[in-house]
Every structure is written in structure tokens, then in C-alpha cells.
Amino acid sequence: MKRLSFSGILLAWAACTTSQPETPADVERPNVLFVFYDQYRPDIIGAYGGGKNITTPNLDRLAREGMLFTNALSTTPVCTPYRGMLMTGRYPTHTGIMLNFLEANTSQTNIADVFSSAGYRTAFMGKWHLSAGSHKMAWVGQEEGSWEHAQPYIDENPDFNFVPPGPARLGFEDWAAFNFHVEFLAAPYYRDAPEKLIMDGYESDALTDMAIDYMEEARRANEPFFIMVAPHPPHPPWDRLPEGYLEQVPETLTWDDNVPADMHTGQNLTEARAYYAMSKNADDNMGRILEYLDTSGLAEDTIVVFTSDHGEMLGSHGRRNKMVPYDEAVQVPMLVRWPGHVTPGSRTDTLQTPLDHMPTLIRMAGLETPRGLDGIDLSPEILDGEVTQRDAVLMSNYTAHWDYFMTASQPGASWPEWRAVKTKQYTYARWITGETELYDDLADPEQMNDLSDDADHASVVDELEATLQHLLAEAHDAFLPGNAYVAWIDRERNIIETGAGPVGQ
């Protein structure tokens, strides 16, 4: 990074915490710190009713001092589609960012563009996952020979996790990140040159250090900042853990009722304990951030958001990972704090989606929202307690594989594509293979009783199916088989078409 050093500040700040620095004068433009860990379930957080296997005192504090969303959702529970919605406020079918390892559609206005234009320092730190990276030149349809075509690119571009400054960084001026890797110990990352740098220690700890350094530099310059911090844990692989955290997790866990007994032991137990260890580390790092904000004098002028890109099944319904319409995959934490503006200890059951972050944060900062966003502005509820009127949201999974446009009948498919409607009471899902599922999430929070064929709920199914069709039309989503979207992507994984038509027209 040309302007910011990102180094040396943390130790200097730590040595000076006994004296209170001056609070920045520019309180009309609040700072924004948006922290989203990967694959972090809300129900492991004490404030969400968790605490059975680990404690989360710092996230609990954030909830006490701000607003907690009980219905925050990752409406496409896969890494890159979530990030596309976060950055643009638009449906995946409107951006083309519908699966992992695509080159981001730079024709859209992004959230960092708005903050940068308003004079903010903008920075992204951590897992980017908005570039083709190692998959560039690997044909999105995964036909035979795909990787033979990609390998020469990989061999010639060892720094494929580097994203060069410019439009591909989607409005972020400062960047200490990587597209995708799973090296949580001594993790590689990049700044403004394709020179591999190595994080000091565990990835989440190092990114927290970077965030604190950046905030301190901005404070000293008396400039507002917009920062996104995206640690990769708690995410597989499960054998790269922060030191001293596995010992804080019980050797036997308390499981939800929808986790089959045969997943209480063996490999699933080992990996679940690792998941909790990573999650505990995340809580401690949030504590470090809150401590810095308190001591530096920035707390009153900084909007803090903690959330995640999706959940983790952890054995529920006999499944692992995400990419399915069940609550363990789509429910995410959503905690928002801004002292003096957000009522401490407030809670809302409003349906909140990744599409809403952009319009909400822009308006909380008093900036102008771009036209054509699919998300809604929740700032009146967050700041003034005005109830948001939203009855249902669209959820989706466009492909039967994380990284390729495939349909359920193709070899190598992980699970069928689906579309779903989420209300405050129901989850209604339709799979590409024709099956439907309906759960009463209030009466059956672990979604163990499928009501889709229950005669007493036939009218509910009809109503939610009609809602689904309405939302699909709004999103320009024809609910095609996954392999039908191959034509939307060129040979280098650039997006050339969306549900709204060719890109750039």
C-alpha cells in the first residue's frame, strides 16, 4: 500500500493507552468497521442463546451495547455470492456473481465506491474471494480437460491470490488481502504489488492487528474510515488452529437435536471442536477491537458491525458445510453498535439480508444511496426503532457445485440447486429436482418436521409458492438448472451476462 504502512502503530498505541487521545472532531461522518468472519453460526453466541460449548463475552457485550438481529440471513449461503451482494446491494442474478471463483463484475457501483467518494479512507483486509484466482482459465462448466487448460495459467502466475489496484478492488483504496487460501498459520497476503507477504501468527489475530493499526493511522490523521475485515476462520481445514484454543473446548459437546447420534463422535466431533476453537478466538479478537475503540476515543464515532457470510451445518440434518436452505447454513449473526445512536440491548426480528448492508450503512453515514439497489435501508429501524415492513425474502443456490455451474444430474454434483422463501415463521424451499420442503421455524426451530405434504398447510404452501414466484421475477431469476448459466461466463471467468441482460448494456 502506497499511503499507509499498516505496521508499527499497534505497539505504539499499546504503550500509550494510559492517556486518552483526543476524539476526532469530524463526528458528522462516522467511521464504519464491518467485521465478517467466515462460516460463523449465530447460535454459538451467548446473546443468541448459545454458550453450551464456548462462551463469547465480547460478542455478548456488543449485543448489550447495540442491536441484535434474530433473523439475519445469508440468502445465498456460499462465500463469493454473499460477498457480491455485500459489495453491490444487488441480487446475484443482477451481478452474475452466483458461484465461487468468478471475476467480479466491475460495472456495478460498490459500497466502497460510495464511501471513498465521500472522503473516507477505505480498506479491505482478509479473504477477498471476488476474483477467479486459481480457477482463472478453468472452464466454469467443468467439462473434461478443464484443469489441463488452467494449469499453464497457474504455473505462470504463482501470485494468483493477488488482485491488482484498480477496478478489480471494487472501490477499496487500501487492500491487505488474498483471494483465497486455507493457510491460517503464517498466512500469505498481498498489498499493492504481487509480492507475497506473510502474516505474523494466526490469521485472525494478524488481521485484527492490521485493523487496529489502520484505525489508529486514520485517527491520527483525523480522517474517517470504512474498513471491512474478513478472516477466513472458522472454516475448514480443521487442523490449523490458534494456539491454546482447542483446550478451551469441551472434549464432548452439547449437540442440537437435529444432529444424528453417529455424528456426535469421530471425525465430526474432532472437526466441530476445531470449529468452536476458531470461533472462540474470533470472540477474543473482537474484544481486542472493542478495547482499542474504547481506549483510543473512537468508540462513540464508530459504527461496528459483526456478521458472517453464512453458517455451518456442523452435522445438523446429517450435513456439513453450507449451500443448503436450512437455518444452520443461512442464519448469521448480525450485531450493530454505535453508541449514542443505537439503543443498547435492542433486538429486532426483521428479515435482514446481505443486500441490505450497502443501503443501510450508506444512510447511517448520511451519504447518498445509488439507484437500483435490491436491498432496503434498515437505518430507520437501527437508529430510530421504526419497524421495517418486510414479509419475505428470496434465498437461493444456483448450482450443484461450489465452483462450477452444474446441475444435480451431473457427475460430481454436491446437492441439487434450490430457491426458497423465508418469512418470520416459515422456510419454504423448492429444489430443481422437484421436491419441496416447508418448516414452521417458530414451532420447529430445528426444522425436523417437513410440512410440505401436510394437508393442514396446503394453503401455506400455495401462498409461499406464489411469493416465491413474485420474488424470482423481481430478481430476474428463471430458476434454470445450474449448467444453463455457463453461457453467462467467458473462458476467463469474466461475467458477460446477468439476468438483466448482457453486462455493460
Does 401 fall in a domain?
Answer: no
If phi > 0 it is left, if psi is from -120 to 50 it is alpha, else beta; for residue 39 that is left
**Sign of the C-alpha dihedral, residues 430, 435, 440, 446?**
negative
* CATH number, domain with residue 113: 3.40.720.10
Range of the domain at 31: 26-390
Angle at CA of residue 355, ends 314 and 407, nearest 5°? 55
Query: Helices 266-296 & 57-64, crossing angle to 10 degrees?
Result: 50
Does 420 fall in a domain?
Answer: no
Bridge partners (DSSP) of residue 337 are 304
Lowest mean pLDDT among 22-31, 126-135, 138-147, 188-197: 22-31
How many domains does the chain fold into?
1
Percent of the chain with pLDDT strictly greater than 70: 93
Residue 15 has pLDDT above 90, yes or no: no
Average pLDDT over the chain, rounded to an integer: 93
| pLDDT tens per residue, range 149-163 | 677 777 777 788 999
Task: Give the pLDDT score at 155.
Answer: 76
Establish whether the linkage from the previous residue to 224 is cis, with ω within 30° of 0: no
Cell numbers 453486462 correspond to what residue? 503
| pLDDT tens per residue, range 253-301 | 999 999 999 999 999 999 999 999 999 999 999 999 999 999 999 999 9
| pLDDT tens per residue, range 338-377 | 999 999 999 999 999 999 999 999 999 999 999 999 999 9
Please give, one letter per residue, the 3-state secondary structure of 127-152: ECCCCCHHHCCCCCCCCCCHHHHHHH
Q: What's the CA gap between 485 and 415, in Å, rounded?
A: 17
Does 412 fall in a domain?
Answer: no
Considering only CA atoms, which of 331, 373, 330 is closest in space to residue 111?
373
Does 419 fall in a domain?
Answer: no
Query: Helices 357-364 & 79-88, crossing angle to 10 degrees?
Result: 40
Query: Helices 266-296 & 203-221, crossing angle to 10 degrees?
Result: 20
| DSSP string of 213-280, one letter each residue | HHHHHHHHHT--EEEEEE---S-S-TT---TTTGGGS-SS----TTS-GGGSSHHHHHHHHHHHHHHH
Longest dimension (CA), the chain: 68
E strand or H helix at 353: none
Does 488 fall in a domain?
Answer: no
Does 416 fall in a domain?
Answer: no
Does 481 fall in a domain?
Answer: no
Does 194 fall in a domain?
Answer: yes
